Amino acid sequence: MSQTEAPVLHLEQVSRVHGQGAAQVHALRSVDLRVHPGELVAVMGPSGSGKSTLLTLAGGLDSPTDGRVLVEGIALGGLTRKKQAEVRRRAVGYVFQDYNLIPALTAAENIALPRELDGVSARAARREALAALEELGIDELADRFPDDMSGGQQQRVAIARALIGDRRLVLADEPTGALDSTTGETVLAVLRARCDAGAAAMMVTHEARHAAWADRVVFLRDGRLVDETAQQDAATLLVTAATNSVKGGDGR
């Protein structure tokens, strides 16, 4: 991961207020956050702390009351709706908490759809969709409809859809919510691999064990970014090195 490269996602002093007057709710207050290429960031915090708002703003599904959201250096606020949708589709993969699959399309068709909208031929898009399904270990679901799948299966299809194409930014809202711990791990490993290959990702989770796959974990409380774990630092490297030397030793 490179801190010198421009961030793929930059939230610049972003605030979001819902409602007006006495009923005003400050969902986010002056949040500043950068996600760089190769970086997986986990967002944690109690319910109502603004985690999901942060993600919808990052994905351009909602607009900040104050501040700017930049994806690959482009400020989403300055774009027409049509241009915004284009940036969103081309650069951003979004995993919704409730999956949002299209019921009338099969798993493979759901996954291929964003690529077809990108102008990729139906055939090539299907090929990519099948590869994405395979990466998540669910190739047998290709021709099934969402109604015919369990929650966990739908969730993995939704993740495959977010990862298809070379999307530089992946945003995921509780991507392991419906999955058992081993399947959840498969999904995180795929997300991790995608970031190691240069993508940037931000995921909201309330499970520390899942957040631990991230390079950085940020904590939100009452709409404020209150804390974060630092990037891999010297102490971390020492722990790893010590254990490696043991494991590298004469085991038998």
Partner 1 sequence: MSIRHGLLALLDQGPRYGYQLRTEFEARTGATWPLNVGQVYTTLGRLERDGLVAPAGEDEEGHLFYAVTDEGRAELRRWFDTPVPRTNPPRDELAIKLAMAVTVPGVDVPAVVQSQRRHSMKALQDYTRLKGQALAGDTGGEADLAWLLVLEQLIFQTEAEIRWLDHCETRLTRRQEERGQTAAASASAPAPSKRLRSRL
How far, in Å, are 39, 94, 170, 189, 207 from residue 192 at the CA level?
9, 16, 11, 5, 16
**CA distance linking residue 175 with residue 210, whole number of Å:** 10
Pick between residue 23 and residue 239 the one whose CB is nearest to partner 1: 239
Pick between residue 81 and residue 247 the one whose CB is nearest to partner 1: 247
Whole-number minimum distance, CB 227 to partner 1, in Å? 6
Binding site for partner 1 (CB under 8 A): 46, 189, 192, 207-209, 211-214, 217, 219, 226-230, 235-236, 239-240, 242-244, 246-247, 249-252
Pick between residue 24 and residue 240 the one whose CB is nearest to partner 1: 240
CA angle 170, 112, 195 (to 5 degrees): 25
**CA distance linking residue 151 with residue 239, whole number of Å:** 38
DSSP 163: H
Pick between residue 75 and residue 238 the one whose CB is nearest to partner 1: 238
Segments of 8-102 assigned E as strands: 9-18, 25-35, 40-44, 66-71, 74-75, 92-95
User: Residue 148 has which token pair?
Assistant: 């015919």
Whole-number minimum distance, CB 217 to partner 1, in Å? 5
Whole-number minimum distance, CB 192 to partner 1, in Å? 7
Pick between residue 26 and residue 192 the one whose CB is nearest to partner 1: 192
**CA distance linking residue 137 with residue 155, whole number of Å:** 13
Strand order in the sheet with 224-228: 92-95, 169-173, 200-204, 40-44, 216-221, 224-228
Whole-number minimum distance, CB 212 to partner 1, in Å? 4
DSSP one-letter string for 185-204: HHHHHHHHHHHHTT-EEEEE
Whole-number minimum distance, CB 221 to partner 1, in Å? 9
Pick between residue 147 and residue 250 the one whose CB is nearest to partner 1: 250
